[in-house]
Amino acid sequence: MRRYTLLSLVTLTLLMLIAACAPAFAQTYSFNEIYASIDLPDGVYSTVLTPDNLGNNTAFLTENGTDAETAADDFAAQGILLKAYDNENDRIFVLSALQTVDAQMYFDLNEQGEDMRREFRVSHKDGTAYGILGYTYSSSAWKNYGGNVLRFLNTQYTLRQAGEESCQGYQKRTIRNGYTITLDMQVYGRKANENDLKALDKIMSSFQFTQILPMPKLPAKLILSSSVPAEISEDTFTIRGITTPKAEVTVTAMSLASSDSVLFSDKANSEGDFSVQVTLPAQGVYTLTIAAEGAETLRTQFAHTVNFQRGLLAVTLTSQPGSVLSAQTEVSGSTLSGVETQLVVTGPNGYTYNKSTENKSFKFAVDTSLDGTYQFNLTFAKKGYTTRSFTFTGTRSMSAGERIATVREDASSPAYSKLKQNLSSYEGDIVTFTGYIAEISHSQSVNEWTVVLGLTKLDSGYNDLIYVICKEDPGVMPGQRVRLYGTVSGEFPIVNEDKSFPRCELIFFESAE
């Protein structure tokens, strides 16, 4: 018989306690480009790709429809430093770093003023940032993580590509060490939820910068607080904004007809505010270059085009329908005061909107949630001016994920007794119930399936039955616990038994195991 001394027993006990209390192992990844590192929790991410190991994961890449060379090009174009797959939860974590225009402008957002950080945050929320890539941000807020990490912009988003929802997710983004750095938790095939955010927060808690680079000489900041009009009927207008304090702001207007140019300027005050009044010398189309240059900064400039025609009913569109539409479409912009504005929408949802632009702006929010092609006819009329019209055409096509989400949102779940007693009042409604597959039968003559769903399981059999009509094989098995989403379509009579039960047309089943 093996014998233990008191000392060895104490030692063994301590080792067991240490093992029990020890945290799960984590893999540390370092990124020399941005002088940073993160930890990935052990056992969560089945495959982790970096620019250096793509050649060692050719089988995985082939399974995902790509190869090492193509993936390397994608990683370089998107600035991807790490891509980790959590297959169990249908999500992918991506860390990327790009030397974007914003990165060149700000270099380090922690060293910029509140106005610059506000501009960066708002650019996400109103869709001006990353919108061309298909991102729609539903929230954006700064969080200071302390230490040497400091501020990251926390966002929630939906990504659409080719008119279809690609994924949802959460991002944490900052600009530091001259890079736009993004920690992105992408969620596929479902809605992003709090657990996905917690998974991203866990990684974020390990993020560290190993070095903070000193601020270099940066371009002068230049933020316009009033948009430059695309069309004007009077020769004078004002450009306002914020730049580096005491910077010189110049506006150069060059005529496309004659190549003649005129120059206007203003010096920003100690807060960086500037206001430049522009008076165009003659009618025509001009290219405007707005530039800011400070004593300790490099030159920054923007270019705009302005069409000046006297008596023109000038219209500037800030938001207009594209060829691919989402659930809601905004048509907005500015024109002259007192203009009668009408928007006529034809398609699955038809509307006529009329507004008078007392404050020079207009905005229409159009419900384009139903699938189909929409035409938008936008008309502007004012006495003394020629009526102007704009026409846009776009198509709405919900993705499978959007359809499922819409059904879930619209479905009600009445008590079975209430449904049965008031069946006619529920006809045509979308309902949802959880129960068990009691029977499945197939009719060859009409090529449809009938599924009997029992909401209550008895010792032998089921009670509270709903008969579900399916145009295709429903893909369920007897005894399986499922959640039904269907449209109430009257009653299902039982021949020769003087009985009837609620009947539904199947939208979809999902597992409730």
CATH of the domain at 321: 2.60.40.10
3-state secondary structure 216-262: CCCECCEEECCCCCCEECCCEEEEEEEECCCCEEEEEEEECCCCCEE
pLDDT at 176: 96
Comparing C-alpha atoms, which of 144, 36, 143 is closest to residue 81? 36
**In CATH, what number is assigned to the domain containing residue 45?**
3.40.1000.10
301 vs 292: CA distance, rounded Å: 6
pLDDT at 6: 45
* Backbone region of residue 471 per phi and psi (left: phi > 0; alpha: psi in -120 to 50; beta: other values): alpha
Domain check: are 256 and 352 in the same one? no
398 vs 371: CA distance, rounded Å: 6
- ∠ CA 370-371-377, nearest 5°, is 80
Residue 89, domain member (yes or no): yes
Domain check: are 463 and 496 in the same one? yes
339 vs 337: CA distance, rounded Å: 6
Domain check: are 417 and 492 in the same one? yes
Q: Domain boundary residue among 372, 396, 420?
A: 396
pLDDT at 3: 45
Find the helix or strand (DSSP H, E) in which 58 lies.
Answer: helix 58-63
Residue 487, domain member (yes or no): yes
Domain check: are 282 and 323 in the same one? no
Domain check: are 84 and 110 in the same one? yes
Domain check: are 226 and 184 in the same one? no
8 A C-beta contact, residue 264 and residue 253: yes
pLDDT at 114: 83
pLDDT at 299: 64
pLDDT at 13: 47
φ, ψ for residue 254 (rounded to 5)? -115, 125
pLDDT at 448: 94
8 A C-beta contact, residue 392 and residue 347: no
> Residues of the chain whose pLDDT is less than 70?
1-25, 126-129, 163, 295-301, 357
481 vs 443: CA distance, rounded Å: 23
pLDDT at 216: 84
Residue 4, domain member (yes or no): no
Residue 216, domain member (yes or no): no
Domain check: are 178 and 276 in the same one? no
Residue 416, domain member (yes or no): yes
Domain check: are 116 and 202 in the same one? yes
Domain check: are 57 and 107 in the same one? yes
Structure tokens at 175: 């600009």
Q: Domain boundary residue among 209, 239, 264?
A: 209
Question: DSSP 3-state assignment of 359?
Answer: coil
**In CATH, what number is assigned to the domain containing residue 487?**
2.40.50.140
pLDDT at 427: 93
Domain check: are 151 and 284 in the same one? no
Q: Domain boundary residue among 209, 238, 255?
A: 209
Question: Side chain identity at 310, as an amino acid letter?
Answer: R
Residue 10, domain member (yes or no): no
Domain check: are 265 and 326 in the same one? no
Please state the domain count of the chain: 4
CB environment 39-57: b (16+ within 10 A), e (fewer): bbbeebbebebbeeebeeb
How big, in percent rounded to 5, are the helix, strand and coil portions of the chain? 20, 50, 35
pLDDT at 298: 61
**In CATH, what number is assigned to the domain containing residue 255?**
2.60.40.3340
Structure tokens at 489: 């379509």
Domain of residue 133, residue span: 26-209
DSSP alpha helices (H): ranges in 360-461? 400-410, 416-421, 423-426
In order, the DSSP letters of 78-123 are HTEEEEEEEGGGTEEEEEEEE--HHHHHHS-GGGS-HHHHHHHHHH
166 vs 312: CA distance, rounded Å: 43
Residue 154, domain member (yes or no): yes
Domain check: are 374 and 255 in the same one? no
Residue 175, domain member (yes or no): yes
